[in-house]
Amino acid sequence: MRIDLEARSAPSKVIEFCAPLLALCAAVLIGGGCIALLGKSPVDAFSVYFVAPLAEIWSLQEVAVKAGPLILIAIGLSFCYRANLWNIGAEGQFVMGGLAGGMIAIATFDGAGQGVFGSFWILPAMLIAGTLAGLAYALIPAILKVKLGVSEILTSLMLVYIAEIILDYLVRGRLRDPKGFNFPQSVPFDDVARLPFLMEGERLHGGILLALLAVAIAAVVMRRTLFGFDVRLVGSAPKAARFAGFSDARVTLAVFAISGGAAGLAGVCEVAGQIGQLQPVISPGYGFAAIIVAFLGRLQPVGILIAGFVLSLTTIGGEGAQISMKVPLDMTRAFQGILLMCVLAADVFTRYRMRISFGGRA
Amino acid sequence: MSLQILELVLVTIFSAATPLVIAAIGELVTERAGVLNLGVEGMMITGAAAGFAVAILTGSSALGVLGGMAAGVALSSLFGVLVIFLAANQVATGLALTILGTGLSGLIGAGFIGLKREATAHLSIPLLSDLPLVGKLLFGQDFFVYAGWALVVAVAWFLTKSRAGLTLRAVGENHASAHALGIPVRRIRFLAVLFGGACSGLAGAYLSLAYTPFWAPGMTGGRGWIALALVVFASWRPVRAFAGALLFGGATVLQLHAQAASLGVPGQLLTAVPYLATIIALVVLSLRRRRGSVAPASLGLSFVPER
């Protein structure tokens, strides 16, 4: 048997739409197989992973809470990946954003929410600081790439480890709550340093609105602006872009700044919304899961919006499965890896026709 | 006395370098064939979990080693099918492999947390192993260290002196020309990917069977990524990769000693040294190498033969 790929002259729209769905189905089937191998019922697992979280208001909110950072980060990453640049360190930029925003909250902490010079400025300052911190952190690999030709893949990833170590160190040291019985965590932020909740007494905070806003902005920028065209051109035809006078150095710096800023903003939203203080670990791997979201959403803003909810669903479902079925949490991560592989495999069909022939034709 | 300390330091450097050497050599062969597999970390950690699990279940370190390698090969074959036969994006697929491997290692290792075994045996030759300074270094290491040395020599020979090695390099430099010459590009690439997987699995097994003989989630701690950087740092040459790995082993040991000596730098921050060193190494290298890249010319590009 041999497999031949034949390039399509234009990507098929129908298949482009169906490919992620097919990939999701394939991943669910493979995941079900793994669950069966663990000796659990795949049918029960399916309902725990994909149905149960949608059945109740509180778990729906949890899905939206977790989808927020995934969407926000993935929107930023889609600019990078469109330009064929590989920022895989969003996790580190997320941590740096959370750290920078958190430090403002801690510096202005007085327990009563009075703040210094009033309190209205604290939350906006946190959001801006977080965004800038993520942006600056992402510029390190971008500058090294532009100036010295250092692989952005490896440097951005190494910086993840370094960011995690810095956060851990500070939370155990300088930023620790002095009245916190030596627990490695900061003071709980004042209310003025918290993202407001969308509904009184509920869990859903304003972070999801920022994510939705990012989707809208990205859709406009990518389709309607020269910059969006620039990014797509550098990614798909770098030589043509150079001839046309586009600077790929400028695009590199810009897309890294965008993705880092988005990840940093997601980080500060996480500490100001979900967590409410700094802890040694503030991300359950959002920065890496967002890579999957970006590809599952085919690097399109609306696709990413949907993909973010799908991936968040599997995470919440995974937590449920751990409790009710004793399936280890690692199952979720393994499933996400399988899902990304299926998405990438399905992508082949949008670009190529596949011919499978039998017999020994050399 | 100081001779003994020096010997101890050297032995520590070599054992810290071994997983990096093995994984980097595997990835080097893969990349020389033109395939960039970013999944080293994932294959390594799965190799560590599978190796330890098999060793506990069978009571045999040798079978554990094979189990670790088999896990690496299995994961890399998945990667190979996707990027070579389906022309999927290599960077993204490699990342997926790392995510999958991390999850898989947790599933495999879940039942083995907290268990311990004896570390694999060290070579012991009367007289030779007791030589001052070099005795333990040359004649008192465990199997993996020697396997690492053998791999460096064998791959260095293979890539420069053997016909098959030259063919593999041709595939990595220019797959279209190699194809035109009738070389089975995709088959060679697939084999190179499998070799890389076996090496990553072996490196992982070293961690859980010899270096720290137990299983802990996330125990590779980014070594797979450092191995990837080593390949670049070594300009895709095996002996340089070995030298680079020793440098990193040295950095690790330095970090441990600095932590013990408490130099005023907080010990926790010193754990960042290997990652920082990786970035600095890549920067220094690019400063020195102004004449353009020495990477295999087809690295990272998919090959789809014209019909």
Residue A84 β-bridge partners: none
Judge whether A288 lies within some domain: yes
**Sign of the four-CA dihedral B40, B246, A91, A225:** negative
Judge whether A260 lies within some domain: yes
- Residue A193: closest CA among A261, A132, A111, A136: A111
Judge whether A2 lies within some domain: no
Q: Do B110 and A332 touch (CB under 8 A)?
A: no
A-B C-beta contacts closer than 8 Å:
145
> What CATH number is given to the structural domain containing A221?
1.10.3470
Which domain does A199 fall in, by range? Answer: 41-109+119-326
Sequential DSSP letters for A4-30: EEEE-SS--HHHHHHHHHHHHHHHHHH
End-to-end CA distance of chain B: 70
* Contact residues on chain B for A158, CB-CB shorter than 8 A: 222, 225, 229, 275-276, 278-279
Give the whole-number percent of chain A exceeding pLDDT 90: 48
Q: Is 90 exceeded by the pLDDT of residue A181?
A: no
How many CB atoms neighbour CB A349 within 10 A? 20
Q: Is 60 exceeded by the pLDDT of residue A361?
A: no
Judge whether A354 lies within some domain: no
Q: If DSSP states are collapsed to H, E and C, what string results for A149-181? A: CCCHHHHHHHHHHHHHHHHHHHHHCCCCCCCCC
Phi, psi of A3 (to 5 degrees): -110, 125
Judge whether A345 lies within some domain: no
- Of all residues in chain A, the one with the smallest CA distance to B90 is A344
Which range has the top average pLDDT, A183-187, A238-242, B172-176, B285-289?
Answer: B172-176
Mean pLDDT by 10 residues, chain B (307 residues): 78 90 96 95 96 94 95 97 91 94 93 85 75 74 89 96 94 92 93 97 95 91 92 91 90 77 70 88 81 78 79
Using CB atoms, pick whichever of B96, B106, B283 lies closest to residue A344.
B96
Identify the pLDDT of residue B160.
94
Judge whether A346 lies within some domain: no
State whether residue A356 sits within 8 Å of chain B by CB: no
Band of residue A362 on the pLDDT scale cut at 50, 70, 90 = very low
The strand ranges marked E within A199-323 are none
Lookup result for tokens 């925003």: A101
CA distance A107 to B268: 23
- Residue A336: closest CA among A290, A267, A297, A270: A290
- Residue A289: closest CA among A24, A72, A38, A51: A72
The yes/no answer to whether this complex scores an ipTM above 0.95 is no
Number of residues assigned to chain A: 362
* pTM of structure: 0.91
Q: Is 80 exceeded by the pLDDT of residue A203?
A: no
* Coil, helix or strand at residue A3: strand
Identify the pLDDT of residue B161.
94
What CATH class does B2-288 carry?
mainly alpha
Judge whether A27 lies within some domain: no
Decide which of B196 and A245 is more confident: B196
Q: Residue B53 corresponds to which tokens in the numbers above?
A: 């699990």
User: A257: alpha, beta or left, given left = phi > 0 and alpha = psi -120 to 50?
Assistant: alpha
The tens digit of pLDDT for each residue in A101-153 reads: 999 999 888 766 665 667 788 899 999 999 999 999 999 999 999 998 898 99
State whether residue A37 sits within 8 Å of chain B by CB: no
Write the CB contacts of A159 (distance below 8 Å, at least 6 apart in sequence). Answer: A89, A92, A137, A140, A141, B275, B279
Judge whether A20 lies within some domain: no
Q: Do A338 and B106 touch (CB under 8 A)?
A: no
- Of all residues in chain A, the one with the smallest CA distance to B41 is A157
CA distance A269 to A330: 25
Q: Do B102 and A337 touch (CB under 8 A)?
A: yes
- Residue A69: closest CA among A134, A142, A137, A19: A134
Identify the pLDDT of residue A69.
96
CB A297 within 8 A of CB A344: no
How far is residue B179 CA from its own chain's centroid? 29
* Contact residues on chain A for B89, CB-CB shorter than 8 A: 344, 347
Q: Using CB atoms within 10 Å of the CB of residue A121, give its burial: 0 to 12 exposed, 13 to 18 middle, 19+ buried.
A: middle
Q: If DSSP states are collapsed to H, E and C, what string results for A238-256? A: HHHHHHCCCCHHHHHHHHH
State whether residue B236 sits within 8 Å of chain A by CB: no
The tens digit of pLDDT for each residue in A309-338 reads: 999 998 898 888 888 888 888 898 899 999
Identify the pLDDT of residue B168.
95
DSSP conformational letter for A329: T
Per-state percent for chain A, helix, strand, coil, to nearest 5: 70, 5, 25
Q: Give the lowest-confidence range in A212-221, A345-354, B86-95.
A: A345-354
Q: Do B304 and A165 touch (CB under 8 A)?
A: no
DSSP conformational letter for A48: I
* Contact residues on chain B for A347, CB-CB shorter than 8 A: 88-89
Decide which of B15 and A260 is more confident: A260
Band of residue A204 on the pLDDT scale cut at 50, 70, 90 = confident
Identify the pLDDT of residue A4.
76
Q: Give the lowest-confidence range in A62-66, A79-83, A318-322, B72-76.
A: A318-322
- Residue B34: closest CA among B305, B237, B303, B245: B303
How many CB atoms neighbour CB B202 within 10 A? 28
Decide which of B117 and A87 is more confident: A87
